[in-house]
């Protein structure tokens, strides 16, 4: 489905966090499949998927099962957020003001911004390693800078260019990873490919959690890439194209990492294992992954910049951010991440796993509140004008119900956590299995619904103001 703007939309995006009016809507719903499929064929999900057999000592079969379960479950939440984009026409993080209030949303926006920056820094490390693997004479730090610059250019150009690159990437990377699977499976270099590792509950649950979080981590920005679609795009179409693209692309990459590690001797770095396992086509695979990580990482930079603009605009509410503002902030974030990534590259895996496990605790309550509010409470009807008012308009500066549910949603997860910083008593009792994200979802969702629907101010909000769109 397209609009007349489809062929006239500028290459360099002019909007930032503002509402996208109908005359500027463009694109096709199938673009969501190529965006999330192509964007997930990348080194970072490959490295993450390998952890199931490397760190958690699962065998191939149980590793694959855990990966599929995690992505299929987490992908539902991620795709439900995507379906909000055409209805709202605004970025995901600024929409959080409708749930938490204009000031109450700041914590969530800050957490999302930190997450994007963490993923951006992690990805440029992998870009540096991939470039060094292709051209030995290029040091990893130089590769990091080159990868960051490439992602920066794409992110500054913005929405339309990101979609174009991923349409191309879906075909190139999709064919590439299938060929890579074929080569590895016909050139296995180990005798214990199918027998290395075994089933253990804590490792299986940890792998499920990593896969689910990979999907949930997209939730704070997934609708940013559907917000330009026409408002009359069916919710189901947005959901299924996003879900199938993300779950399929992510699962392929996660499984590819596990297969590559098991097909090579124990103890190898994942990307080194990929290079060795793919033999003659290894250099070509690394080139494809290098291009992929540069393209995909633009999403993290783009999301970080929109989050930072949202933070600033909360206080400078008269400021109208432009494409120039987005470019300047992009350069600042890029430079800061380059310095951080060069210093952290030696301990990348450890830092990344720590970040993922911490994010699991703070993202789950937010996603529960956002989805319950959109689908069960407001049913897609929001006053867009109030979202951009300094006092929050009909949504206020703070929403005590949302903040209380969010705090409880984090607190109830603590006994079930298993992170390098803290292991909860329940997790310790069940051999380290991490069930915190499941508990967070099951508690936060009904709690927020109960708190919100008991609030008389909520009922007044539903009947006041000019509401934009409905499901």
Report the interhelical angle of 43-54 vs 270-277 (nearest 10°).
100
> Strand, helix or coil at 118?
helix
Residue-wise pLDDT tens digits, 18-36:
888 888 888 889 999 999 9
At 75 the pLDDT is 95
DSSP structure string for 68-81? HHHHHHHHHHHHHH
Residue-wise pLDDT tens digits, 439-464:
999 999 999 999 988 865 555 555 55
At 349 the pLDDT is 53
CA-to-CA distance for 306 and 131, rounded, in angstroms? 28
Predicted confidence (pLDDT) at residue 3 exceeds the cutoff of 60: no
Task: Decide if 236 contacts 87 (C-beta within 8 A).
Answer: no
Structural domains of the chain sorted by starting position, each given as residue range(s) with its CATH number in brackets: 4-346 (1.10.4160.10)
Confidence (pTM): 0.87
Report the interhelical angle of 348-371 vs 436-454 (nearest 10°).
30
Over residues 286-309, the mean pLDDT reads 86
**Exposure on the CB side of residue 163, measured as CA atoms within 13 A:** 23
At 466 the pLDDT is 44
**Exposure on the CB side of residue 196, measured as CA atoms within 13 A:** 22
Span of 116-120, 175-179, 188-192 with lowest mean pLDDT:
116-120
N-to-C CA span, the chain:
17
| Stronger pLDDT, 430 or 149, i.e. the higher one | 149
pLDDT band at 206 (very low <50, low <70, confident <90, very high): confident
Burial zone of 54 (CB within 10 Å; 0-12 exposed, 13-18 middle, 19+ buried) = buried
Rg of the chain (C-alpha set): 22
For the chain, give the mean pLDDT. Answer: 85
At 115 the pLDDT is 80
Residue 227: closest CA among 38, 39, 112, 82: 82
pLDDT band at 94 (very low <50, low <70, confident <90, very high): confident
Residue 93: closest CA among 83, 79, 107: 107
């Amino acid at each position: 489905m397209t609009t007349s703007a489809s062929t006239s939309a500028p290459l360099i995006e002019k909007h930032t966090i503002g509402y996208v009016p109908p005359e500027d809507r463009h694109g096709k719903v199938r673009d969501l499949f190529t965006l999330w499929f192509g964007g997930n064929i990348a080194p970072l999900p490959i490295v993450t998927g390998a952890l199931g057999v490397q760190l958690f000592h699962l065998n191939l079969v149980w590793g694959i099962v855990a990966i599929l379960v995690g992505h299929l479950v987490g992908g539902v939440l991620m795709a439900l957020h995507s379906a909000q984009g055409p209805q709202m026409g605004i970025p995901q993080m600024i929409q959080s003001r409708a749930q938490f209030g204009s000031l109450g949303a700041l914590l969530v926006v800050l957490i999302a911004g930190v997450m994007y920056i963490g993923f951006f820094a992690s990805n440029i490390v992998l870009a540096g390693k991939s470039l060094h693997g292709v051209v030995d004479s290029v040091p990893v730090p130089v590769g990091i800078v080159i990868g960051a610059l490439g992602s920066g250019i794409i992110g500054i150009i913005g929405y339309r260019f990101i979609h174009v690159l991923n349409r191309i990437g879906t075909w190139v990377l999709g064919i590439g990873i299938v060929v890579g699977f074929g080569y590895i499976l016909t050139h296995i270099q180990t005798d214990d490919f199918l027998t290395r590792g075994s089933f253990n509950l804590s490792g299986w649950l940890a792998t499920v959690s990593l896969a689910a979080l990979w999907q949930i981590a997209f939730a704070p920005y997934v609708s940013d890439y559907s917000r330009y679609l026409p408002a009359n795009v069916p919710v189901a179409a947005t959901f299924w194209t996003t879900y199938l693209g993300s779950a399929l692309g992510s699962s392929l990459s996660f499984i590819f990492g596990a297969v590559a590690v098991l097909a090579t001797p124990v103890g190898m770095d994942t990307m080194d294992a990929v290079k060795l396992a793919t033999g003659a086509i290894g250099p070509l695979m690394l080139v494809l992954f290098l291009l992929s990580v540069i393209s995909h990482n633009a999403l993290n930079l783009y999301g970080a910049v929109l989050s930072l603009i949202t933070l600033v605009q909360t206080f400078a509410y008269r400021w109208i951010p432009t494409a120039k503002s987005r470019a300047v902030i992009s350069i600042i974030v890029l430079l800061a991440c380059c310095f951080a990534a060069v210093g952290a590259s030696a301990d990348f895996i450890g830092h990344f796993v720590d970040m993922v496990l911490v994010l699991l605790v703070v993202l789950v309550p937010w996603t529960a509140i956002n989805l319950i509010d959109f689908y069960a409470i407001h049913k897609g009807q929001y006053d867009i004008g109030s979202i951009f008012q300094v006092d929050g308009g009909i949504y206020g500066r703070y929403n005590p119900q949302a903040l209380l549910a969010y705090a409880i949603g984090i607190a109830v997860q603590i006994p079930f956590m298993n992170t390098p910083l803290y292991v909860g008593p329940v997790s310790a009792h069940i051999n380290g299995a991490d069930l915190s994200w499941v508990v967070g979802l099951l508690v936060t969702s009904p709690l927020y619904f109960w708190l919100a629907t008991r609030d008389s101010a909520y009922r007044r909000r539903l009947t006041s103001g000019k509401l934009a769109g409905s499901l």
